[in-house]
Amino acid sequence: MELLPLVCLCLLSCSGDAVRVDVEEDSDAVLPCLISTEEDISGKLFDWRKDGQMKKEVFMYDAGNHYNNGRQGQDDQFKGRVSFYQDQLQNGNASIKITGTKMADSGNYSCDFPRHQPRQTSIIELVVDPVLKDRTGENIPGAAPQPVISILAVTKDWVLLQCEARGVSPLTVELKNGAGNILKSESTPKSETGSPSSITLNIAVTKTDDYSCVATQETLSHQVAAMIPVYIQGSNTGWIVAGVVSLLLVVAIIVAGVLAVLYIKKSNKQYCAKDKNSSKEENGQTEPDSSTSLKESH
């Protein structure tokens, strides 16, 4: 069974924020798309397209009917190069893998669920970097490989991540959180310089964040990274937001109460003054006119 692909654990939205995937030319690219970990999409429709002047059909799945089993309409650029994760459809995973990436594959891709209520679409930006070459056009040995970050297991409280990179020693691989802090790191022994190497890091994360797998080839000072956003259902983020909203609501209620009290006091004061004047008029008590009083005194 293949490992879970690089997926976007936050629910798909039309926020306009694109998930970026960086790969080296001629390598494979996994484009993440997850509608919900608790929704089976094996009987639904999802459509992958590449943006441009004319949108290109990358991959379409409709209740078991797709481009890899006879469905027509796929763009020639992607024929025979796109696969999906059949065993992950039951978990809402509509991610695809494009093999043998080329520079022309770079661009924005959309993963669309047109029949979902409400309709949901995510945007993934694929960046294909050219392979480093020397003056003869040969690949430079030892260049940092494109790492792969994937998800091995998911619960409501934690997500198990795997960071893997292959290349030539000396090679360093690091797992970092969104703030750039290193959560786990491993390097190949200096005694193995020039030999093929592979490093795999596994770590369970408990916080919603963007996590990166960074591979560095020290000799060439060449570094590449792959990023994955992770959403933890049991994360404190939701409680924090709820707490802030509740606090703002309490403050609003208090302010409204104070304003109401001030309004009532002002109204009572005006009413009392008006009532006092009315009582004087009824008893024939009026304030004497100053000019009249002076005339009478003369």
pLDDT one-digit tens code per residue, 110-139: 999 999 888 889 999 998 887 665 555 555
CATH architecture assigned to 1-130: Sandwich (2.60)
User: If pLDDT is split at 50, 70 and 90, which confidence band does 10 have?
Assistant: very low
Answer yes or no: is pLDDT of 242 > 80: no
Contact residues for 199 (Cβ-Cβ < 8 A; gap 6+): 164, 165, 171, 172, 173, 186, 187, 188, 215
User: If pLDDT is split at 50, 70 and 90, which confidence band does 176 have?
Assistant: very high
Question: How far apart are the C-alpha atoms of 50 and 107, rounded to whole Å?
Answer: 7
Answer yes or no: is pLDDT of 294 > 50: no
Question: How far apart are the C-alpha atoms of 163 and 174, rounded to whole Å?
Answer: 8
Question: How far apart are the C-alpha atoms of 106 and 31, rounded to whole Å?
Answer: 12
Average the pLDDT over 251-278 and give the result: 68
The correct CATH number of 134-235 out of 2.60.40.1120, 3.10.350.10, 3.30.70.100, 2.60.40.10 is 2.60.40.10
Which of 7-11, 182-186, 191-195 is modeled with the greatest confidence?
182-186
Whole-number pLDDT of residue 53: 56
> Which of helix, strand or coil describes residue 199?
strand
pTM: 0.48
Q: Which residue has the higher pLDDT, 23 or 2?
A: 23
Whole-number pLDDT of residue 257: 72
Whole-number pLDDT of residue 38: 76
Torsion angle (degrees, nearest 10) of CA 186, 140, 78, 64:
-20
The CA-based diameter of the chain, rounded to the nearest angstrom, is 124
Whole-number pLDDT of residue 4: 41
N- to C-terminal Cα distance for the chain? 117
User: If pLDDT is split at 50, 70 and 90, which confidence band does 208 have?
Assistant: very high
